[in-house]
Amino acid sequence: MKQADGILLASPRYGPFGASPSKMQALLERLINVNTLPANVNPNFVFPLQGKPCGLLAVSVEGRQNNLPVLHSLEQYVLAYRMQPVHTKLWPFVGVSGRGNDKGDVLRDVEAMENAKILGKLLVRTIKIMKNHKFAIT
């Protein structure tokens, strides 16, 4: 992740409360050891993912607003790790919300697929802007 120019975090929504699966939670929680805990000891600590552009995607059986809890949760981690969330001008703004239950279902969600393409283009554009302006991405 430190070597990547940008990151896409994608998660299904599980359960009625919008939880991410345990493997996604484990990844996000383990990043605390890389990002947050050292900062508590060293005030000059440079967050390794600081400024790194990050796009968010979520999918569930219902799609649409039902994915907002997952997108908002992912965004909170991105912000805590001082990454740069990439937002779109399309609802839900914070990321892409898709609909699907079985493997490949989301490919038939035309709106989500178009929004994912837009998010990908915005992520690439953000990366290029940061490189051209020599912003630190790592």
Q: pLDDT tens digits, residue range 6-57?
A: 999 999 998 777 778 899 999 998 888 776 677 778 888 888 899 999 999 9
Structural contact between residues 53 and 7, judged by C-beta atoms closer than 8 angstroms? yes
Q: Please report, rounded to a whole number, the percentage of residues in the chain having pLDDT higher than 90.
A: 61
CA 46/CA 39 separation, integer angstroms: 8
The range of the structural domain enclosing residue 125 comes to 7-132
CA 119/CA 47 separation, integer angstroms: 24
Structure tokens at 62: 């219902």
Q: How confident is the model at residue 85 (pLDDT cuts 50, 70, 90)?
A: very high
Q: Please report, rounded to a whole number, the percentage of residues in the chain having pLDDT higher than 70.
A: 94
In a 3-state reduction of DSSP, which class is residue 101? Answer: coil
Q: What is the pLDDT of residue 55?
A: 98
Q: Which long-range contacts (CB under 8 A, 24 or more apart) does 11-14 make?
A: 11/57, 11/58, 11/59, 11/70, 11/74, 12/58, 12/59, 12/60, 12/70, 13/58, 13/59, 13/60, 13/66, 13/67, 13/69, 13/70
Residue 25's alpha-carbon distances to 11, 124, 131, in angstroms, are 10, 26, 30
Q: What CATH number does residue 125 fall under? A: 3.40.50.360
Q: Is residue 1 part of a domain?
A: no
Q: What is the arithmetic mean of pLDDT over 66-77? A: 94
Q: What is the count of structural domains for the chain?
A: 1
Q: Is residue 43 part of a domain?
A: yes
Q: Is residue 138 part of a domain?
A: no
Would you say the pTM of this structure is higher than 0.75? yes
Q: Is residue 15 part of a domain?
A: yes
Q: How confident is the model at residue 138 (pLDDT cuts 50, 70, 90)?
A: very low
Q: Is residue 2 part of a domain?
A: no
**CB-facing half-sphere around the CA of 106: CA atoms within 13 A:** 21
Q: Is residue 137 part of a domain?
A: no
CA 108/CA 102 separation, integer angstroms: 11
Calculate the CA 103 to chain-centre distance.
21
